[in-house]
Amino acid sequence: MTDASGVLVATRMHDAIRVSVEPDPVNKYGVAVARVGFACKASISGTTSQHMIGIVCSEPVPAEHMIEGRRLYHESGPGCLCICPAGARHFTAFGGPMNGIFLQISPECFALAKADLVGHGGTLVERMEGYDPVLAQMGRVLEAEAAAGHPNGMLFWSTVTDQLLGHLVAHHLSVAPVLDRGPVDASALKRLDEYITENLAEPLDLDTLAAVVGCSRFQFARLFRAAVGVSPHRYVVRRRLQRACALLHAGGDSLAQVAAATGFTDQSHLSHWIRRVYGTTPMRLAVGR
pLDDT of residue 234: 84
Q: Are 144 and 90 in contact (CB under 8 A)?
A: no
Mean per-residue pLDDT pooled into runs of 10, the chain (289 residues): 36 51 64 85 84 92 90 90 92 89 89 77 87 93 87 75 88 66 73 91 86 81 80 87 88 89 90 82 74
DSSP 2: B
pLDDT of residue 109: 85
Q: Are 79 and 56 in contact (CB under 8 A)?
A: yes
Q: Are 260 and 271 in contact (CB under 8 A)?
A: no
At 142-185, the pLDDT tens digits run 999 888 887 877 767 877 888 898 899 889 988 654 444 456 77
Question: 84: exposed, middle or buried (C-beta count within 10 Å: 0-12, 13-18, 19+)?
Answer: buried
pLDDT of residue 122: 81
- The reported pTM is 0.67
User: With helix as H, strand as E and coil as C, how does 194-213 read?
Assistant: HHHHHCCCCCCCHHHHHHHH
Domains of the chain: 9-171 (2.60.120.10), 186-286 (1.10.10.60)
pLDDT of residue 15: 47
pLDDT of residue 5: 36
Which stretches within the chain are classed as H helix? Answer: 26-29, 107-117, 133-147, 153-171, 186-198, 206-213, 217-228, 232-250, 255-261, 267-278, 282-286
Neighbours of 221 (CB within 10 A): 15
Distance in angstroms (rounded) separating the CA atoms of residues 156 and 162? 10
pLDDT of residue 116: 75
